[in-house]
Amino acid sequence: MAIQTGNTLLQIAFLFYVSSLAGYLLFLVRQKEQIQKISFYLIAIGVGVHFAGIAVLGVAIRSLPVQNLVQNLSMAALAFGVMFLYVRYKFNLKMLGLFTAMILSVTMLAALLLPDTQAPPNEALKGIWFYCHIILIFAGDATLGLACGAGILYLLQEKGIKDRNPGFFFKRLPSLDFLDTVSHACITTGFFLLTLGLVTGFVYAKVLWGKFWSWDFKELFSMGAWLVYAVLLHLRLYAGWRGRKSAIMTIVGFGIIVFTFLGVNLVLGGHHQEFTK
pLDDT at 276 > cutoff 50: no
For the ranges 76-90, 108-122, 140-154, which has the lowest average pLDDT?
108-122
pLDDT at 137 > cutoff 70: yes
C-alpha to C-alpha distances, 274 to 8, 61, 143, 254, 277, nearest whole angstrom: 25, 17, 25, 23, 5
Specify the pTM: 0.91
42 close to 16: Cβ distance less than 8 angstroms: yes
Task: Note the pLDDT of residue 277.
Answer: 45
Q: Which is more confident, 259 or 165?
A: 259
pLDDT at 57 > cutoff 80: yes
Half-sphere exposure of 253 (CA within 13 A, CB side): 34
Q: Residue ranges per domain, the chain?
A: 1-117, 124-277
Reported as a single tens digit per residue, the pLDDT across 64-100 is 888 888 999 999 999 999 999 999 999 999 999 999 9
Reported as a single tens digit per residue, the pLDDT across 166-209 is 777 778 889 999 999 999 999 999 999 999 999 998 888 877 77
Residues sharing a CB contact under 8 Å with residue 207, sequence separation 6 or more, in sequence order: 127, 129
pLDDT at 239 > cutoff 70: yes
